[in-house]
Amino acid sequence: MRTIQLRFLLITFAFWFSHYVYLPMLAPYLKERGANYAYVGLVLASYGVLQVLLRLPLGIVSDFKQIRLPFVRWGVFAGMVSALGFAVTDGLGWSLVWRTLAGLSAATWVVFTVTYLSHYQKEEAAKAMGMIQFVSVLSQLLAMVASGYLVDLWGWRSVFVAGAGIGAIGFVLTLAERDRQARSERPVDISQLAGVLKEQRLIRLSWLTLLAHCILFSTIYGFLPAYALSLGCGESAVSYLVVSFMVPHAISSILTASTIVPRLGTWGTLIGGFLGSALSLLLIPLGPHLLWLCLTQLLNGFALGMVLPLLMGMVGQTVSAEKRATAMGFFQTLLAIGIFSGPFLAGGFNHLYGLFGGFVFAGLVGLLGAGLAIQWRFRDSSLSKVNRK
């Protein structure tokens, strides 16, 4: 079992590396080629379009057919082709095509998470999500740190070549996998899967992940690297910004289930995470230099690391194993709406008000997330008291 888990984590590492090794340089690359901030926002947002359209259908089909591995395999392949496409083509129009294909690849993540969850007991869902989130974040960290140095040494195309190469390794690893998804004793009925989508707890968690990813893809995965370069920093300096966000993000992903949730509770952890993220972003305009930017992202990274794996773990505990892909598909569909709407709206604010406008927008989204979590925490507490009576 441990060998299977390790190989799957290596596939996960390669999958996300192929997506993120060029991400910090994507907005600056498009600006270098003549795109305005509105078009940059559109390209960044295109990553979420197919995820919005496909994550729920992929989850339903995966549950109904009780298959997982083909989605994982072709997701890795599509990510590899997307990076390769950036490397071998020119033109701003092609960038929209390849980033949309990357979104198709990322849509299969719904099946990745469910496949990994199948190796754990239901009560260990938060632990499992913490581990796969840690590997995902580690992959993203190393990819994004390497990004600036690759561009400094070998130019813009080097990051796309690196993404395609690591993606190819991940695809080869998937060929050694076997679909071990346990079959349900009774066929899963479509009406049962439809009932999953009416779960109020699932709907609330999904709205919160939408807001969290709206923040994530407006900032560190969106316009923060471009802002750092606008301060006069070199491409390699973006690596400091990435490390400032990703290291505390990885640490909090591991600590959340074991240390933070036992002290604050699930809703308290979510409230603290959203408030911390909002504060970090609203502080950015107070110090327009790299050191201040890195300090704010230490807080932002830790705060969002409290939120993201916890939300996924809570979804995993909401439904039975044979319906998890449907639940995760709905959850990740709203997640994808956040990936799309965040940079799209932030790009508009940046175009109108300068780069600070997008960061203020993301900070307000964090405050909204905290407010909703507070409201739903009290609602859950009220329901618990009624049930005890």
235 Cβ contact list (under 8 Å, min separation 6): 25, 28, 148, 151, 152, 229
146 occurs within a structural domain = yes
pTM: 0.76
Give the Cβ contact number of residue 8 at 10 Å: 20
Selection from 159, 171, 137 nearest residue 301 by Cα: 137
Burial environment of residue 202 by CB neighbours within 10 A (0 to 12, 13 to 18, 19 or more): buried
At position 14, the amino acid (one-letter code) is A
Give the Cβ contact number of residue 18 at 10 Å: 32
389 occurs within a structural domain = no
At position 88, the amino acid (one-letter code) is V
* pLDDT on residue 321: 67
- Cβ distance 280 to 321 under 8 Å? no
Burial environment of residue 201 by CB neighbours within 10 A (0 to 12, 13 to 18, 19 or more): middle
CA-to-CA dists, residue 200 to 141, 146, 368, angstroms: 34, 41, 19
Residue with tokens 């295109």: 46
Burial environment of residue 10 by CB neighbours within 10 A (0 to 12, 13 to 18, 19 or more): middle
80 Cβ contact list (under 8 Å, min separation 6): 18, 163, 164, 167, 168, 170, 171
* pLDDT on residue 77: 97
DSSP state of 289: S
17 occurs within a structural domain = yes
Tokens of 15: 């999958």
DSSP state of 319: S
- Cβ distance 66 to 111 under 8 Å? no
* pLDDT on residue 386: 40
241 occurs within a structural domain = yes
d(CA 257, CA 265): 10
**Domain residues for 372?**
2-178+195-384
Number of domains in the chain: 1
At position 7, the amino acid (one-letter code) is R
* pLDDT on residue 363: 95
Tally of residues, the chain: 389
93 Cβ contact list (under 8 Å, min separation 6): none
Strand runs (DSSP E) across 75-183, as ranges?
A: none
* pLDDT on residue 191: 62
201 occurs within a structural domain = yes
358 occurs within a structural domain = yes
Per DSSP, the residues of 327-377 read HHHHHHHHHHHHHHHHHHHHHHHHHHH-HHHHHHHHHHHHHHHHHHHHHHH
42 occurs within a structural domain = yes
* pLDDT on residue 201: 87
- What SS3 state is found at 189? coil
Q: Which residues of the chain have pLDDT under 50?
A: 183-187, 383-389
190 occurs within a structural domain = no
CATH number at residue 134: 1.20.1250.20
At position 209, the amino acid (one-letter code) is T
* pLDDT on residue 214: 94
